[in-house]
Amino acid sequence: MKVLLIGANGQLGSDLLRVFRTAGHAVVPATHAQMDVCSEDRVSEIMAEAKPDVVLNTAAFHKVEECEKNPALAFQVNCTAAMNLAKACRRSGAVLVHFSTDYVFDGQKNAPYEETDLPSPLNVYGVSKVSGAHLIAVNADRYFVIRTCGLYAIAGSSGKGGNFVENMLKKAMSGEEICVVDDQVLTPTYTTDLAEATRRLILTGKFGLYHLSSEGRCSWYEFARSIFECAGVDAQPKAVKTGDFPSPVKRPSYSVLSKTRLRALGLTIPSWQDALSRYLQERSKKNPLASTAPVHASS
C-alpha cells in the first residue's frame, strides 16, 4: 500500500516511517515544513501528487498549556484540519488514520477506559481532539481514529521538547532533585510498538475508533523509578502530588486505555516495562556514550 505520512519527523511519525518502510510499504513523508495540515490547498496538492491508499496523520498541536492560551490554533490543527483531511480522503478513496489522546477522558472512572466510554475532556487540547475525531467520523467513510497515551520515541518530541525518559535521565545526570507526580496513572507507550500495532490494525480493514497504548499501567513516579532501575542509574525520584505544582491546565488523574477492540481482532501490544527496556537498549546502541554508568542524584 502507498502511504502519505503527515508529521513525518515527529516522535510517532519517525517510527511510522521506519516501520512501514521496513514492512515494504511505499511511504511519502510530509514534514510540517513541506505541508501545513491546516492548508487545504497544500493538502489537496500533496494528495493529488502522492495518490495514497492510506493517509497517516500524526500532526497535532499538543502542548497542553499552549492550547489553553491559543484555543483557535488548537482547534485549527486538531479539529478543522482533521475534518478537511477526512473530506479529502473520502474524495480520493484513501483510508484516513488519525491519532487522538487519552486526554479526551476526565480520569474519574478509575478503571481502564473503553472505546465506548463517553469522553469528558478537562482541557482545550482534549476538547479539540474529541471534536476532530467526531468530525472525522462524520466526514470519512473509511477511517481509523487511534487514541493513545504517554508517547516516547527515540526521535524525541519536537512538540514538547524531548520525551519523559530523556528528561528523567538528563535530570539524574545533572544531579538535580527529581520530583515526579504519583497521582496521575497512565500507560507510557513506546512509539515503535504503536507504529507496528497501527500497521497491523490497518491491514485488518476493520475501520473505527481504537485504543492503542502499551499494556499495563503506572504512575509517572513509578515510570521514573523504572527508568532509573532499567538504565542502571542510581537516582531516587521524590513522589509529589499534582496539587504541589499548581497549573492552569487540568489533567486526568487516571487515563489508562482498555484495548478491548484491539484484542477482539486478535492483535496485541507489548507491556510498557518490556517496551522501556527495548527503548533503553536501542538508545544505547544509537549513542554508546549515553548514560549507562550509575550516577548519583540528590533527592
Ligand X SMILES: NC(=O)c1ccc[n+]([C@@H]2O[C@H](COP(=O)([O-])OP(=O)(O)OC[C@H]3O[C@@H](n4cnc5c(N)ncnc54)[C@H](OP(=O)(O)O)[C@@H]3O)[C@@H](O)[C@H]2O)c1
Residues acting as catalytic residues: 125
Write out 197-230 in H/E/C secondary structure. Answer: HHHHHHHHCCCEEEECCCECCEEHHHHHHHHHHH
The Cα–Cα gap between 86 and 143 comes to 8
Q: Does 255 bind ligand X (CB under 6 A)?
A: no
The secondary element (H helix, E strand) that includes residue 60 is none
Q: Minimal distance in Å, beta carbon 168 to ligand X?
A: 15
Indicate whether 77 belongs to the interface with ligand X (CB under 6 A): yes
Q: Does 157 contact ligand X by CB under 6 A?
A: yes
Nearest to 236 by CA among 152, 294, 162: 294
Residues within window 16-75 making contact with ligand X, judged by CB under 6 A: 32, 35-38, 58-62
Burial class of 3 by CB neighbour count within 10 A (0 to 12, 13 to 18, 19+): buried
Toward ligand X, which CB reaches closer, 34 or 174?
34
Residue 71 Cβ, how far from ligand X at the closest point, in Å? Answer: 15
Rg (C-alpha) for the chain, rounded Å, is 19
Cell of 65: 498549556
Q: Which of 3, 13, 89, 192 binds ligand X (CB under 6 A)?
A: 13
Q: How far apart are CA 240 and CA 181, in angstroms?
A: 5
Out of 3, 4, 5, 7, name the contact with ligand X by CB under 6 A. 7
Nearer to ligand X, 23 or 73 (CB): 73
Q: How many residues bind ligand X (CB under 6 A)?
A: 28
In contact, 228 and 213? CB cutoff 8 Å? no
The single residue listed with the C-alpha cell 491546565 is 249
Positive or negative, the Cα torsion across 10, 149, 38, 126? negative
* Cα 276 from Cα 272, distance rounded (Å): 6
**Minimum CB–partner distance for residue 10 and ligand X (Å):** 2
Per-residue binding string, ligand X, 95-134, x by CB under 6 A, is ----x-xx--------------------------------
Instruction: Tell me how far, at minimum, the Cβ of 75 lies from ligand X, in Å.
Output: 12
- Regarding 151 and contact with ligand X (CB under 6 A), the answer is yes
CA distance 30 to 36: 9
Q: Which residue is nearest to ligand X (CB)?
A: 10
Smallest distance, Å, CB 25 to ligand X?
19
The grid cell for 40 is 487545504
Stretch of 154-162, 173-181, 195-203, 230-238 lying at the interface with ligand X (CB under 6 A):
154-162
- How many Cβ atoms from other residues are within 10 Å of residue 91's Cβ? 10
Cβ 153 to ligand X, closest distance in Å?
A: 7
Binding mask 221-250 for ligand X (x = CB under 6 A): ------------------------------
Interface residues with ligand X (CB under 6 A) are: 6-7, 9-13, 32, 35-38, 58-62, 77, 99, 101-102, 148-151, 157-159
